[in-house]
């Protein structure tokens, strides 16, 4: 169909400001007419004529849940960014230089709603093309019923979910024999395709233009071959699927012939009945193979001759066994009856010794390829094992002809958030499985780890080849460090350019860190490596298990970003999404989208803290004005927890309905918690600052007065003089014994009076030593370590903080960590991730406290280095669009030299970390302190140290000399 649609002229937006104008997404939401409401992949095509004189041309588009788009067969892009019911951002792709004439747009949409990506309403695509005629934007083509659309039969709509908790979409099972390779090309014949149907009401009622850049795709070649070999040699693997997926279980008969008296041996993942010649059901016993958890074995003696195996196949399986999850140090859940099911099935392995199979099914695509990755027995090496070459462009895998399935395990060095990419060349009917895992179990990845993760995970995708070279990839991203490839078919098969295409937020690394301690340098960089897969279209907690924008995780991630990239756009979008989740009564969500009714008060207060941080760094008061009503509602909601003392008094409840603070911080979650009230005092002060900036002076004074009252009450009620530190909480009038989180949060948020800081810091150090309790749990886990490091840095105990980093992060390095783990606890299970962003706080600490660089505004900075026993540190931190570079040396006691380089348009101050009146300090060769202040020079001795204020951008050199018994004092504010 040819169509020229000029719907309207849209004035007021020139090419240079196209991406910044009013939303221009026109057209109607559409979908394939035969959609049944289940997960599906739909293909759309439309031919249009572009009039002469339109340049540039733009394509605007949104879809639920993911889309890919081509123009005239050429790749354009993918999207959208995750969205909520109240914030849906469409993408805009420039198509400059597009010639006048007929063109074809082709779009693939995967409808796969899940609870961590988007708050889906129903499957739909909406798109429009616009061209600039020199004065106005002309709408050239829009989605509508004149488009062609089909549900692709190539993808299995009943494929199982990656996560039974519905956190991620389905496994992708693709039969390439049902997907024409040229379906997106202009020459493809779509005359038989039906027309699309308009979706009403629109599932996109809150459209606006995208506020973050499109994600970047970065190819990553594997760094090592872990293993390659044969799968279950001497055994036959059979995938048995229920043909309808409804009704009662069915029995399938397999025919075998024993060429001599022998023992039949079977392996399976379940104990559904198998009978030989109609006899009693075989007895299943655990195989107890650590490389193959959950595998059961059964055997029975057979006489020579023909026999039948009657195999029971369950009718259906639940797609989502747990619709709402909560977890602490282990998974917990609330079971709900699920209306989502998929056809049942099972996979058997039959030993072939002295057996012949007649017409027995083999491996099929199936609905859950993860079953065979768990059941199959990998044997390294052997005749016919794949040959693997590691090249910069990806691995080349050559599999010779042979009947035994083969496998390859590749190592990408760290956990990635990526898509597999390769070109497969093999006979029609060949099946390729690809599974991802973060770790090895007995040297083997388990993309379906079975009951090791409570049967909640199966990150495996599968393709059936059509006999022509075809690219293999996934529509959605996957995550892991290790890739398992399994190939079933007679071969030969070649897999070209096996790589992972990492999907990350497009930022340039500005910050860096180098010091006299190589271990700390490595720790700093791994924090960056952990942030990258968690910095996508939101700040996520982990790419592997969940990908949720939990705000406590996001705050740690943002601080790492402050030290490394300096991006503010992604954080601004997150602030808006979180604000949208605050209801009319001020009730917050702990994450967005899909807060699921989880109220975590420390995460909620962290949102106010984050808004204040964003405003401080950006100077963008307009966002504060936009979100201030939500902040006021939230502050009013928090006030409902205030007791007679004015302190928050939180009723005991699960952390999802109280506060998290940290996994071990159970005593800080309820009652009049020191940690929560220290944060409360800070956010009330921040609310006062923002209110004053917006001219709401009465509210500003009220917030500030309440902040002061909370600090006073906290110190009067919760400080224990005889212990020199703070109780964890007061619950029902009884003080709860002191805990490290109480001291850390009190110091971090600056509520400790000067005379109590040292005793509080000493108590903190004592309470985290030993670091592990008798049960093997850490007294502070990686989420809590952020506050501990901040507290020690502000209290002047940088050396102890560095020792803590060396000990705990060094231990993880010793266990092979290349991204930071969810827990320090030695006995963490497969349920905990090995790529958790909240573990990266040392990166922030080393840059902000040790190197000492801190942006305090768009063009303002403060440098306050602390050596902590290091002899030098050098590096940079982002500042606006530039960098603040620092190089300090403390080669011996009594000497400190520093060079700073700041953008010329910036200004700031330098705080030297000593309080010595006998010091001699020069700035750019001029004495500014010589045993006392030098008249006319900008140096002042403060409680924090020697402050040199009023510095402008450029290069400055500072040298300090004093007697060799330096006294390092706390930094009280940052």
**pLDDT tens-digit readout, 894-903:** 899 999 999 9
> Quick check: helix, strand or coil at residue 904?
strand
pLDDT at position 36, please?
60
The helix-helix angle for 782-794 and 757-767 (nearest 10°) equals 150
Region 781-787: what's the mean pLDDT?
98
User: Of 497, 496, 601, 580, nearest to 538 (Cα)?
Assistant: 580
**How far is 910 from 921, CA to CA, in rounded Å?**
12
| Average pLDDT over all residues of the chain | 92
pLDDT digits (tens, 9 = 90+) for 634-649: 999 999 999 999 999 9
**Cβ distance 479 to 459 under 8 Å?**
yes
Contact 259, 356 (CB under 8 A): yes
Res 8: pLDDT? 37
**Minimum mean pLDDT range among 147-151, 246-250, 529-533:** 246-250
DSSP per-residue codes, 634-677: HHHHHHTTB-TTSSB-BPP--GGGS--S-TT-GGGSSBS-HHHH
Q: At what angle do helices 551-564 and 518-531 cross, to 10 degrees?
A: 120
Question: Which range among 24-38, 135-149, 368-382, 651-665 shows the weakest confidence by mean pLDDT?
Answer: 24-38
Question: CB 443: neighbour CB atoms within 10 A?
Answer: 12
Residue 247: the pLDDT is: 74
CA-to-CA dists, residue 953 to 61, 750, 851, 877, angstroms: 44, 30, 18, 14
Tokens of 920: 């001699």
| Opening angle at CA 576, ends 575 and 578, nearest 5 | 65
Q: Residue 970's pLDDT band (boundaries 50, 70, 90)?
A: very low
> pLDDT of 443-499, one tens digit each?
999 999 999 887 678 999 999 999 999 999 999 999 999 999 999 999 999 999 999
The whole-model pTM stands at: 0.93
Residue 453: per-residue pLDDT: 85
Q: What is the pLDDT of residues 497-510, one digit of tens each?
A: 999 999 999 999 99
- For residue 416, list its beta bridge partners: 480
Kindly state the helix (H) or strand (E) to which residue 530 belongs, with its residue range.
Answer: helix 518-531
pLDDT digits (tens, 9 = 90+) for 130-177: 999 988 999 999 999 999 999 999 999 889 899 988 889 999 999 999
The H or E element spanning position 110 is strand 101-111
Q: Is the pLDDT assigned to residue 22 strictly greater than 80?
A: no
pLDDT over threshold 60, residue 328: no
Residue in the block written with tokens 């910050």:
511
Number of Cβ within a 10 Å radius of residue 622: 10
Q: Is the pLDDT of residue 268 over 70?
A: yes
Separation of CA 755 from chain center = 42
Q: How much of the chain exceeds pLDDT 70, in percent?
A: 93
* 832: nearest Cα among 502, 449, 574, 482: 449
Collect all residues with Cβ–Cβ distance below 8 Å to 636 and sequence separation of at least 6.
Answer: 586
Strand partners, 225: 410
Six token digits for residue 572 = 């601004």
Structure confidence by residue, pLDDT tens digits, 576-600: 999 999 999 999 999 999 987 899 9
Q: What is the pLDDT of residue 3?
A: 36
CA distance 793 to 757: 12
728, 720 contact by CB (below 8 A)? no
Residue 473 φ then ψ, to 5° = -155, 180
Is residue 37 very low, low, confident or very high in pLDDT (cuts 50, 70, 90)?
A: low
Name the token pair of 65: 């849940």
pLDDT beyond 50 at 331: no
pLDDT at 964: 79
Query: How far are the Cα atoms of 313, 660, 739, 750 from residue 767, in angstroms, in the given order?
Result: 56, 19, 7, 19
C-alpha angle 883-532-92 in degrees, rounded to nearest 5: 90
**For position 342, what pLDDT does the model report?**
66
Phi then psi for 675, rounded to 5 degrees? Answer: -60, -50
Q: What is the mean pLDDT of residues 819-841?
A: 92
Short-list 330, 373, 563, 346, CA closest to 480: 373
List 138's β-bridge partners, or say none.
Answer: 9, 131
| Among the listed residues 301, 308, 303, the one whose alpha carbon sits nearest the alpha carbon of residue 252 | 308
């Amino acid at each position: 169909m040819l169509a020229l649609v000029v719907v309207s002229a849209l004035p007021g937006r020139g090419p240079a400001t196209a991406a910044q104008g009013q939303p221009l997404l026109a057209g109607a939401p559409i979908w394939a007419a035969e959609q049944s409401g289940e997960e599906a992949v739909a293909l759309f095509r439309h031919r249009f004529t572009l009039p002469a004189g339109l340049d540039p041309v733009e394509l605007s588009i949104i879809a639920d849940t993911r889309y890919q788009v081509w123009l005239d067969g050429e790749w354009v892009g993918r999207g959208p960014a995750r969205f909520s019911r109240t914030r849906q951002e469409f993408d805009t792709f420039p198509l400059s230089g597009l010639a006048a004439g007929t063109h074809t747009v082709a779009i693939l949409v995967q409808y796969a709603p899940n609870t961590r990506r988007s708050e889906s309403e129903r499957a739909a695509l909406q798109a429009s093309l616009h061209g600039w005629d020199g004065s106005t934007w002309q709408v050239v083509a829009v989605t509508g019923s004149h488009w062609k659309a089909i549900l692709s039969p190539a993808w299995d709509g009943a494929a199982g979910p990656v996560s039974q908790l519905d956190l991620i979409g389905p496994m992708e099972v693709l039969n390439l024999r049902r997907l024409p390779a040229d379906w997106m090309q202009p020459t493809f014949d779509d005359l038989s395709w039906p027309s699309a149907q308009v979706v009403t009401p629109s599932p996109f009622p809150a459209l606006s233009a995208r506020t973050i850049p499109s994600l970047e795709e970065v190819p990553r070649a594997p760094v090592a071959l872990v293993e390659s070999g044969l799968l279950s040699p001497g055994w036959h693997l059979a995938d048995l699927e229920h043909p309808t997926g409804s009704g009662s279980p069915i029995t399938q008969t397999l025919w075998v012939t024993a060429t001599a008296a022998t023992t039949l041996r079977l392996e399976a993942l379940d104990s559904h009945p198998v009978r030989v010649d109609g006899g009693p059901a075989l007895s299943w016993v655990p195989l107890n193979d650590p490389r193959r958890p959950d595998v059961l074995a059964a055997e029975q003696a057979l006489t020579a001759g023909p026999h039948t195996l009657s195999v029971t196949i369950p009718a259906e399986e639940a797609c989502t066994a747990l619709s709402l999850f909560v977890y602490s140090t282990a998974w917990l859940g609330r079971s709900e009856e699920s209306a989502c099911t998929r056809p049942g099935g099972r996979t058997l392995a039959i030993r072939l010794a002295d057996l012949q199979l007649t017409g027995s099914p083999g491996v099929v695509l199936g609905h859950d390829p993860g079953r065979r990755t768990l059941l199959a027995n990998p044997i390294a090496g052997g005749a016919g094992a794949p040959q693997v070459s590691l090249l910069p462009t990806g691995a080349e895998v050559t599999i010779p002809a042979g009947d035994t399935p083969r496998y390859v395990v590749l190592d990408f060095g760290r956990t990635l958030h990526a898509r597999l990419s390769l070109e497969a060349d093999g006979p029609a009917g060949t099946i390729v499985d690809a599974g991802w895992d973060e770790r090895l179990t007995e040297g083997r990845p388990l993309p379906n780890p079975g009951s090791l993760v409570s049967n909640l995970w199966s990150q495996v995708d599968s393709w059936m080849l059509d006999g022509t070279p075809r690219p293999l990839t996934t529509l959605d991203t996957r995550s892991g460090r290790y890739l398992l490839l399994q190939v079933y078919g007679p071969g030969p098969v070649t897999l070209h350019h096996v790589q992972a295409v990492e999907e990350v937020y497009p930022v340039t690394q500005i910050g860096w860190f180098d010091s006299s301690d190589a271990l700390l340098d490595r720790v700093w960089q791994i924090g960056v490596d952990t942030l990258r897969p968690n910095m996508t279209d939101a700040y996520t907690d982990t790419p592997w298990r969940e990908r949720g924008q939990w705000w406590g995780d996001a705050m740690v991630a943002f601080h790492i970003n402050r030290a490394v990239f300096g991006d503010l756009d992604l954080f601004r979008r997150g602030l808006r999404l979180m604000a949208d989740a605050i209801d009319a009564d001020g009730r917050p969500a702990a994450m967005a989208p899909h807060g699921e009714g989880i109220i975590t008060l420390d995460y909620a207060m962290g949102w106010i803290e984050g808004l204040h941080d964003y405003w401080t760094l950006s100077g963008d008061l307009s966002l504060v004005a936009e979100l201030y009503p939500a902040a006021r509602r939230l502050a009013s909601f928090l006030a409902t927890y205030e007791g007679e003392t004015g302190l928050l008094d939180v009723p005991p409840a699960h952390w999802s309905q109280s506060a998290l603070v940290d996994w071990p911080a159970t005593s800080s979650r309820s009652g009049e918690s020191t940690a929560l009230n220290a944060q409360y005092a800070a956010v009330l002060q921040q609310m006062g600052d923002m209110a004053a900036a917006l001219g709401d002076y009465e509210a500003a004074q009220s917030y500030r007065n309440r902040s002061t009252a909370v600090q006073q009450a906290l110190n009067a009620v919760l400080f224990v003089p005889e212990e020199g530190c703070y109780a964890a909480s007061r619950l029902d009038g009884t003080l709860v014994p002191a805990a490290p989180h109480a001291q850390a949060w009190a110091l971090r948020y600056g509520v400790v009076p000067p005379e109590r800081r040292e005793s509080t810091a000493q108590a903190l150090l004592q309470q985290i030593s030993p670091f592990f309790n008798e049960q093997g749990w850490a007294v502070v886990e990686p989420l809590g370590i952020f506050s501990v490091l901040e507290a020690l840095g502000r209290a002047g105990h940088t050396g102890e903080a560095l020792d803590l980093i060396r000990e705990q992060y060094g231990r993880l390095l010793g266990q092979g960590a290349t991204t930071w783990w969810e827990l320090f606890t030695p006995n963490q299970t497969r349920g905990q991730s090995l790529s958790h962003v909240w573990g990266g706080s040392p990166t922030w600490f080393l840059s902000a406290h040790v190197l000492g660089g801190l942006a305090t505004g768009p063009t303002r900075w403060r440098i306050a280095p602390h050596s902590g026993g290091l002899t030098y540190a050098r590096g940079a931190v982002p500042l606006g669009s530039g960098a603040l570079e620092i190089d300090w040396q403390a080669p011996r006691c009594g000497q400190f030299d520093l060079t700073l380089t700041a953008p010329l348009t910036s200004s700031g101050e330098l705080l030297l970390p000593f309080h010595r009146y006998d010091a001699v300090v020069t700035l750019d060769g001029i004495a500014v302190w010589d045993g006392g202040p030098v008249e006319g020079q900008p140096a002042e001795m403060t409680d924090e140290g020697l402050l040199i204020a009023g510095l402008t951008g450029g290069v400055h050199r500072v040298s300090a000399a004093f007697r060799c018994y330096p006294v390092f004092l706390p930094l009280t504010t940052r």
